[in-house]
Amino acid sequence: MSSVSASQNLVESSKRAAARAAVDRHVNSSTKVLGVGSGSTIVYGFERVVELYKEGLLNKDLVCIPTSFQSKILITKAGLRCADLDEFPNVDITIDGADEVDSQLNCIKGGGAAHLREKAVAMVSKKLILVADYRKNSEYLGTQWTSGVPVEVIPFTYQTVIQGIKSLKPDSNPLSDFGVSGLGKMFDLSTPEVNLRIAVRKAGPVVTDNGNFVIDAHFGKILNPALLEIALKKMTGVVEVGIFSNVAQEAWFGNEDGTVSVRTTDLQNNSD
Ligand SMILES: O=C(CO)[C@H](O)[C@H](O)COP(=O)(O)O
């Protein structure tokens, strides 16, 4: 086996280990409404949900809420009940992947351009549990994941949002209108670098499940994710930002040695 495919296998097995372990811990017969995330890691987690369901270990009336077209297909192909937030606006638990998770459980999502629906589902979930391989485990956002913060925008505004993001400075203060000061630096790059995400097998930009564009914004090391999330969301035309600050309760990481670690908001129970 080439070293490239060996390392790819290691990544896949660590995704699978983390996702299955998180499902085994959190999805059970009392789960009635399950948020199903997007990306490649959640595929392993959802496979485990389907196994448990078929073994009769889950609620027979389990409802799954998709966070993207991709997860809708996963749910319907498995024959599980698929519904939307308009029918079930309260979710027991959501299991989802992440592009990077910091030491405080803030994360970047949207590598698959699904972060609007992912955040909408996460925000009404009693718990958001992240599942990821070891490459996503980070101290500061923007250090392991170097593809930028995904920002979903209304197409009409993409240039003005790009301009607005480029004009942010590390010490810009999105809360100055409220008389809040002394918040320090949000990020460490002197000028953010910003790109419109271009599709791979289609000419032109990526178009999200909601008909919008995605901008990837690079800030270097992100020192204050909550403040940067606010600064970006204030821009007219921004629909959602791929920074999830203070949303997740746990992150399960598959490690290179085959073990799984859990980072939780309850510091007593951290295993990493
Ligand atoms: O946020 C997401 C999609 O918008 C994904 O959850 C994130 O990109 C992680 O994907 P993967 O599990 O394939 O690494």
Q: What is the pLDDT of residues 96-136, one digit of tens each?
A: 999 999 999 999 999 999 999 999 999 999 999 999 999 99
Q: How far is the CA of 131 from the centre of ligand 1 (A)?
A: 10
Average pLDDT for residues 220-225, to the nearest whole number? 98
Given the residues 47, 55, 100, 118, select the one marked as catalytic: 118
Average pLDDT for residues 142-147, to the nearest whole number? 97
How far, in whole angstroms, is CA 183 from its chain's centroid? 25
Are 23 and 54 a contacting pair, CB within 8 Å? no
Give the tokens for residue 231.
Answer: 């600064």
Give the number of the atom of ligand 1 that is nearest the alpha carbon of residue 114.
Answer: 4
Cβ-based neighbours of 129, under 8 Å, separated by 6 or more: 22, 26, 93, 94, 95, 96, 248, 249, 250, 251, 252
pLDDT at 268 over 70: no
**Smallest CA separation from ligand 1 atom 2, residue:** 110
pLDDT digits (tens, 9 = 90+) for 164-189: 999 999 999 999 999 999 899 999 99
Backbone φ and ψ of 107, nearest 5°:
-145, 165
pLDDT of residue 172: 95
Q: How far is the CA of 52 from the centre of ligand 1 (A)?
A: 23
pLDDT at 219 over 90: yes
| Ligand 1 and 237: CB distance under 6 A | no
Kindly tell me the burial class for residue 30, based on how many C-beta atoms sit within 10 Å of its own C-beta (0-12, 13-18, 19 or more).
exposed
Q: How far is the CA of 100 from the centre of ligand 1 (A)?
A: 9
Are 75 and 45 a contacting pair, CB within 8 Å? no
Multiple choice CATH, 6-138+247-264, 3.40.640.10, 3.40.50.1360, 3.40.190.10, 3.30.70.100: 3.40.50.1360
pLDDT of residue 46: 98
Classify strands 238-241 and 149-153 as parallel, antiparallel or unpaired.
Answer: antiparallel
* CATH architecture assigned to 149-242: 2-Layer Sandwich (3.30)
- The CATH 3.30.70.260 domain(s) of the chain lie at 149-242
Give the tokens for residue 250.
Answer: 């746990």
Fill in the amino acid letter for 102.
Answer: D
CA separation for the pair 124, 33 (Å, rounded): 11
| Ligand 1 and 206: CB distance under 6 A | no
Give the number of the atom of ligand 1 that is nearest the alpha carbon of residue 41.
Answer: 12
Determine whether 250 is an active site residue. Answer: no
Backbone φ and ψ of 90, nearest 5°:
-125, 130
- Helix, coil or strand: residue 259: coil
Q: How far is the CA of 205 from the centre of ligand 1 (A)?
A: 19
| Ligand 1 and 13: CB distance under 6 A | no
Classify strands 250-254 and 260-264 as parallel, antiparallel or unpaired.
Answer: antiparallel
Percent of residues, the chain, with pLDDT higher than 90: 94
- The CATH 3.40.50.1360 domain(s) of the chain lie at 6-138+247-264
